[in-house]
């Protein structure tokens, strides 16, 4: 996901999107995954020379990437989307009023794993397939893909707010999919999300994808296993909880009662209850189609007073 916090910072992207031809190029890449220049030119009924400046503009602003690969007639340039989501914050306040952290998927603070399950670094599998004991292996902090048929993984997010700060929105971004033995592109799984133990909603993953190789998968990763997921953005604010802008519950930050002293824990779970209990897979920077780990972003307001803007009920009861 490309996240534009300030409108002026996205001006190159906005200019790139002002062309109908460039929009068509993005639509073609979204539909086909990757195409070379000849294929793009043929589909658009243009010459290679005509589309080259459009490709360059899309590459320069980060909307697409290009890699060189061997073909029947020598080297060819293959184009593909750099990210599949673009988020623009039209109501952004001071750019300094946020912070974000990336956590490797192996940096969970608690877990429960039921086979099929496992985890791997970018170099090798950790332990054995379908043995939950290896989720406690010290090497798990280097894991960049984890999968489980049932259970959960929970992450501790640092809280850097000060006494005169208050939470405005908390966001989580990750590449995620279901967990099938091998892979199954049509394998819906209900994945529950919670913040500080409070359920914020459920998203149904359509499948566990393996039809094509993941863009960033290491060479040793077997082709018969899952290859990539979907990039999802979860937001919790004063209006509710959302996945990619779609409301998943009415739970707000006020319901979670956070302040600058609060611990922050984020859990993703597949439990016994859902109709579609088909696991979850998390992809890190060196797996799947997106070069990122689990990303947590905190947006906050700054108040004039050095005293807390509003004491949470939990904090008040402790005094």
DSSP assignment of the chain equals -EEESSGGGGHHHHHHTT-HHHHHHHHHHHHHSEEEHHHHHHHHT--HHHHHHHHHHHHHTTSEEEEEEEETTEEEEEEEES-S-EEE-TT---TTSEEEEEE-TT--SEEEEEEEEEEE-SS-B-S-TT-GGGGGSGGGGG-SEEEEEEEEEEEEE-----TTEEEEEEEEEEEEE---SS-BSS--EEEEEEETTEEEEEEEE--BB-SS--TT--TTS-TTS--B-EEEEEEEESS-EEETTEEEE---HHHHT--TT--EEEEEEE-SSSS----EEEE-TTSTTS---EEEEEEEEE-SSSS-SS--HHHHHH-
- State the pLDDT at residue 312: 52
Closest residue by Cα to residue 304 from 99, 162, 169: 162
pTM: 0.73
* Residue 268 to residues 26, 154, 165, 227, 282, Cα–Cα distance (Å): 31, 6, 27, 20, 10
In terms of DSSP bridges, do strands 2-4 and 86-88 run parallel, antiparallel, or are they unpaired? parallel
Given a contact cutoff of 8 angstroms between Cβ atoms, the answer to whether 100 and 233 are in contact is no
For the stretch 236-272, pLDDT in tens is 999 999 998 899 999 999 999 999 999 999 999 998 7
Looking at the chain, the whole-number percentage of residues with pLDDT higher than 70 is 90
For the stretch 190-222, pLDDT in tens is 999 999 999 999 999 999 999 889 989 999 999
In degrees and rounded to multiples of 5, residue 59 shows phi and psi of: -70, -45
* Residue 194 to residues 109, 153, 174, 191, 237, Cα–Cα distance (Å): 14, 11, 15, 10, 14
- State the pLDDT at residue 319: 45
Between 2 and 115, residue with greater pLDDT: 115
The token duo for 123 is 């170099």
2-81 maps to CATH 1.10.10.10: yes
The token duo for 300 is 């906050």
For the stretch 129-172, pLDDT in tens is 999 999 999 999 999 999 999 999 999 999 999 999 999 999 99
Burial string for 298-310 (b: 16+ CB within 10 Å, else e) reads bbbeeeeeeebbe
Between 11 and 96, residue with greater pLDDT: 11
The token duo for 282 is 């998390």
Given a contact cutoff of 8 angstroms between Cβ atoms, the answer to whether 104 and 143 are in contact is yes
The structural domains of the chain, with segments of one domain joined by +, span: 2-81, 93-302
- State the pLDDT at residue 95: 53
93-302 maps to CATH 2.40.70.10: no
Beta-carbon-side half-sphere exposure of residue 272 (alpha carbons within 13 Å): 1
For the stretch 29-70, pLDDT in tens is 988 888 999 999 999 999 999 999 999 999 988 899 998 887
Instruction: Give me the chain's average pLDDT, please.
Output: 90
Least confident range from 43-47, 54-58, 91-95, 111-115: namely: 91-95
Q: How far, in Å, CA of 167 to CA of 261, rounded?
A: 11
The band of 5, judged by pLDDT with boundaries at 50, 70 and 90, is low
For the stretch 220-234, pLDDT in tens is 999 999 999 999 999
- State the pLDDT at residue 83: 78
């Amino acid at each position: 996901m490309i996240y534009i916090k300030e409108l002026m910072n996205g001006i190159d992207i906005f200019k790139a999107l002002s062309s109908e031809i460039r929009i068509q190029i993005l639509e073609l890449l979204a539909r086909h995954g990757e195409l070379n220049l000849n294929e793009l030119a043929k589909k658009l009924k243009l010459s290679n020379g005509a589309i080259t400046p459009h490709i360059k503009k899309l590459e320069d602003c980060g909307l697409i990437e290009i890699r060189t690969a061997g073909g029947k007639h020598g080297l060819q340039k293959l184009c593909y989307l750099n990210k599949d989501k673009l988020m623009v914050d039209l109501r952004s306040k001071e750019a300094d009023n946020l912070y974000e952290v990336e956590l490797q998927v192996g940096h969970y603070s608690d877990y429960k794993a039921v086979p099929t399950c496992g985890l791997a670094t970018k170099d090798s599998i950790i332990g054995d397939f379908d043995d939950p004991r290896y989720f406690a292996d010290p090497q798990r902090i280097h894991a960049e893909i984890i999968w489980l048929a049932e259970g959960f993984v929970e992450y501790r997010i640092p809280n850097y707010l000060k006494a005169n700060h208050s939470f405005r929105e908390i966001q989580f971004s990750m590449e995620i999919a279901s967990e099938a033995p091998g892979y199954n592109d049509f394998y819906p799984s209900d994945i529950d999300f919670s913040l500080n133990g409070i359920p914020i909603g459920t998203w149904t993953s359509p499948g566990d994808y393996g039809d094509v190789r993941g863009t960033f998968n290491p060479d040793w990763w077997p082709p018969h296993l899952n290859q990539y997921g979907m990039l999802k953005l979860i937001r919790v604010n004063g209006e509710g909880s959302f996945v990619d802008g779609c409301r998943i519950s009415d739970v707000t930050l006020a319901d979670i009662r956070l302040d600058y002293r609060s611990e922050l824990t984020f859990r993703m779970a597949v439990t016994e209850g859902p109709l579609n209990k088909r696991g979850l897979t998390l992809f890190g920077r060196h797996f799947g189609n997106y070069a990122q780990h689990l990303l947590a972003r905190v947006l906050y307001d700054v108040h004039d007073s050095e005293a807390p803007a509003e004491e949470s009920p939990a904090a008040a009861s402790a005094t």
